[in-house]
Structure formats: C-alpha cells, structure tokens
Amino acid sequence: MIDPSGLRMGTAAGRWVLVATVLGSGIAMIDSTVVNVALPHIGRDLGAGFAGLQWTINAYTLTLAALILLGGSLGDHFGRRRVFLVGVIWFALASAACGLAPNIAMLIAGRALQGVGGALLTPGSLALISASFRGSDRAAAVGAWSGLGGLAGAVGPFLGGLLVEYSWRAVFLINLPLAVVVVVVTVLRVPESRDTQSPPGLDVSGTVLAALGLAGLTYGLTELGNRGASAEALVAVGVGALALAAFVAVERRSTHPLVPPSLFADNTFRVANAVTLLIYGATAAVFLLLVLQLQTVARFSPVAAGTALLPVTAVLLVFSSRAGVLAGRIGPRLPMTTGPLIAAAGLLLMLRIGSATSWLADVLPAALVFGAGVALVVAPLTSAVLDSAPDRLVGSASGINNAVARASGLLAVAVIPGLAGITGADYADPATFNAGFRTAIVIAASLLVAAAALAFAGIRPRPAPAGTKDRILVEQCTHCPINCPPQHPTASTAGGLEALS
C-alpha cells in the first residue's frame, strides 16, 4: 500500500512511477495510432478485403470499449498495480499474436485480445498516478503524464510509417520490448493501491450485455455495408439492439452499475455525450480513410502518410489547454458550437486530396483547420460532461464519456465506409476508393455540423463553475483511462489524441 503522505515529484520513487505509467499508456497510444498507417500493407500481404481492414480496427475498439469500465473497477477491487501488470502482459502477448498472424482472421482475433489487455492496462495508468501522488504533486504528475502521452501520440503515425517500410508486423512486435521494461519497472518500483471504499461487487451482467450489444451492432452494420441486407446482418443488428436495451434495464436495477442512471437525469450530460458520439464517430472514420486515401490514391509512402496527421497533433498539443481555459471563462457552449464547424471546414478541404496531391498545398491546410476545430472542442466537451456530474460520480462520468467516444468510433468505422460505397477490395483501386473517400468526408462533415447544432441548442450558455479545473484534475483520475477524451486542460492533449486516433 502507498504511504498516506504520497510520493513526491522530483524524487526517485516518483520518477519510477511516472516511467512505468507513461510507458504503459504509451504502448496502447502508439499502437492505436500506427495500425491505421499499416492497413494497406496488411490488406495486400494477407489478401484481405475492406471488411477485414475494418475489423482490424474495430476488433480492438470493440473489446476496449466494452470492458474498459470494468477494467477500472477491477483495479479498485483487486489492486491497481496488479491489474495494470496483467494488462501490460496481456497486451504484449496479444501483440505477439498480431505480429505473427498468418491470416486476417488470426490478426482480427489478436486485435480483439489486445483490446482486452488495453481495457485492463489503460485505466490503471492514470489511476496509479492519482493514488500515488497527493496535492500539487499529483497535479504535476498528471501534467507530466499528459505531456509525455501527447508526445507518444505525436510520434505514433511517424513511427508507424517507419516500421511499415520494414514490415507491418513490426508495428505489433515493437510492443514486446517496451512491455518488458514496463513490467520490470512496475514490479520493482511501483507501489500497490486499491480503493477500500469502492462499491461491493462487479457489474458482470452489465459488462456482458454491453459487449454483446456492441458486438452485434458492429457485426451487423459492417455486414450491411459490405453485403447488403442479408438475414444474418439483420439478425445481428436486432440482437445487438436488444442486448443494449437489456443493458439499460440492468443498469437501472443494479446496486453497483457501470453506468449510474442518475447521471442521465442532467440535460447537459445527455447532450454532451450525444455531441461526443457525433464528433468522435466522424473523426474515427476520417482517420481510418485518410491514411488509405493518401497511400492508395495520392501514392504517399507510409512515412509520408503518417506525417500527414502530425499537424493535427501539433495543434492539439499547443491549443487544447488554451481551449480549456477559454471554456472555463465563457462556458462550453460557444467552443462546442464553433469547434465542430471549423473541423467540418477542415474536412471539406480534404476533398482536394486526390491523385495529384501536394502535402504542402493540400494536406497541410486541411489538417491545420481540422486540428484547430478539434482542439477548440475537446476540452470544453469533456469539461461539460464532468461539470454536469455530482462530485461523487465524476469518475463514472469520465468513464462513460470515454466509452461513448470509443463506441461511436466503433460504429462509425462499421457504417460510414459502407454508406460511402467502399467495400471488398476497393481500398486497392484508386478511382473507386477516391469516390468513396469523398462521399465519406461529406458524411463526416455533416456529423460535425449536426454536433454543432446540437451543442448550440442543448448546452446552456453559462460559465463553468468556480473550481472546475481542480475538481476535474483530481477527482476523475481514479477511473479515467488514457483513451478517454480530455478531462482537464493539462490532461486534455494526451487523452484527446488517443480518443481521436
């Protein structure tokens, strides 16, 4: 157990905890940003159609989104260091399975296992910092974790491009030596902690229903997009919808729900999560299709395609915290309205990306405008979610918002390509994929415009309450995973990058 006085920044013990947690969360963050760059090579090497590439992304997101709230609860009950270690080891073994996969089916299975490891690993990273440090040292530790995590998100696409030039399998195998370092440091230097006041029991039934619901919808919607309205796809969608309806009923009756129903009594909480659904769905689809467009149509190398996203990262790193401060002064309504509109304008600029694309003239302006819109909205959005929750439920509110962001990306990757007409081997045909990409961009921009309209109509124009920033920084840390949207101006960049990747 941790000394009640907590660790101190600048001490050897404090630095070791930071090394373990930053490297641990960095493994998951880098992995999620590099895989998109590798997709064309994976498809060609394993003979996969576009549905296979969709599931390469969605298998990971599915298990992560379904289990991440349970992962935080497991850490509270059984020890955060213990669950963090299990997550790191699990993630490493699943990464090895991905790197050695002989076919697309085995790769998809490995990705699903990676998501399970990520759901155990990611909540523990920030929770260990929150439990290990106290007061101003905790704030400084979270800030350091956030900044270093942002750098991991920035280097991910570029690193992915370099690794893919060698072999797409290296994208997964690189996790093994990093995981060894994390395990050794954690075992030797990180103290154990648990929440002795956490509610008794685990919401296993809710977790199973959430996983079944998301899996059914994802499979059914993916099949509808690729093969049309088959009986199998329609049954899967029906099963998924029924499972999610049952999940809502179970949560209403549970004594220890994953999703406390009382949170949804607040209109701001409902609206902010609906805005999250639209924004993160749009960006997930764009991030998947953009790197394919750059490699298939514009003939960019993997390294060049990876660097195309660096301007978005840079803008988030520089301006996310400032947007959080602005929202603290004027309230979240205006940033949450204008941010998606600016991001939509950036997406429309991406329509210029084609066979004769210039990185400087076409990709850079679109990425900068899109990044500016995203940077303006991510911190105010999550601040609105957390400000609408009672103090005792801030951690749950953060986790729910993270799950909504992940689930929206999951469903968008399943639905939008099909709506845009991208199926089969279209990702390897420049002319066909270019037409589908343009349609998908218009769909994604429309989602962002809808998010802006919803925020304007549903978020009350009031300033954030005094003390918001300190409350967000300290109280939500216990349950918030690295993958979630930003929780605090100092922590917004790393969380925002990971959620958007």
pLDDT bin (cut points 50, 70, 90) of residue 486 is very low
Q: How many CB atoms lie within 10 A of CB 10?
A: 9
The length of the chain is 501
For 12-192+258-500, give the CATH class. mainly alpha
- Run of H or E including 223: helix 204-227
The mean pLDDT value for 431-449 works out to: 95
Lowest mean pLDDT among 19-23, 109-113, 335-339, 345-349: 19-23
Say what the alpha-carbon torsion angle 71, 261, 394, 331 is, to the nearest 10 degrees.
130
- In angstroms, the Cα distances linking 74 to 68, 198, 202, 343 are 10, 10, 8, 37
Distance CA 380, CA 331 (A): 8
Give whole-number Cα distances, 393 to 82, 257, 476, in Å.
24, 12, 8
Average pLDDT for residues 253-281, to the nearest whole number? Answer: 89
**Ranked by mean pLDDT, which of 65-79, 303-317, 442-456 comes out on top?**
442-456
pLDDT for 313 equals: 80
Q: What is the pLDDT of residue 4?
A: 45
Neighbouring C-beta atoms of residue 178, cutoff 10 Å: 19
CB atoms inside a 10 Å sphere around CB 252: 11
Q: Is the pLDDT of residue 411 over 60?
A: yes
**C-alpha span between 55 and 254 (Å, rounded):** 32
pLDDT score recorded for residue 265: 86
Contact at 8 Å (CB) between 493 and 486?
Answer: yes
Q: What is the pLDDT of residue 376?
A: 92
Q: Within a 10 A sphere around the Cβ of 480, how many other Cβ atoms?
A: 32
Q: Give the pLDDT mean for 404-414.
A: 89
Average confidence score pLDDT of the chain: 82
Q: Give the pLDDT band (50/70/90) at residue 197.
A: low
Q: When comparing pLDDT for 398 and 370, which is higher?
A: 370
Per the CB < 8 A criterion, the answer to whether 126 and 96 are in contact is no
> In this predicted structure, what is the pLDDT of residue 492?
40
Mean pLDDT of 442-455: 96
For the ranges 160-169, 326-335, 346-355, 489-498, the lowest mean pLDDT is seen at 489-498
Q: Span 292-303, mean pLDDT?
A: 90
- What tokens does 244 get? 């999610």
146 with 490: CB under 8 angstroms?
yes
pLDDT of residue 489: 34
Q: Is the sign of the CA dihedral 439, 444, 450, 452 positive or negative?
A: negative
Q: How high is the pLDDT of residue 110?
A: 96
Q: pLDDT digits over 354-390, tens only?
A: 988 888 899 999 999 999 999 899 888 878 887 888 8
pLDDT at 195: 67
Percent of the chain with pLDDT over 70: 86
What's the pLDDT score for residue 133? Answer: 79
Q: For the residues 448-474, what does the mean pLDDT come to?
A: 70
Region 223-232 average pLDDT: 81
Task: Please tell me the predicted confidence (pLDDT) of residue 192.
Answer: 85
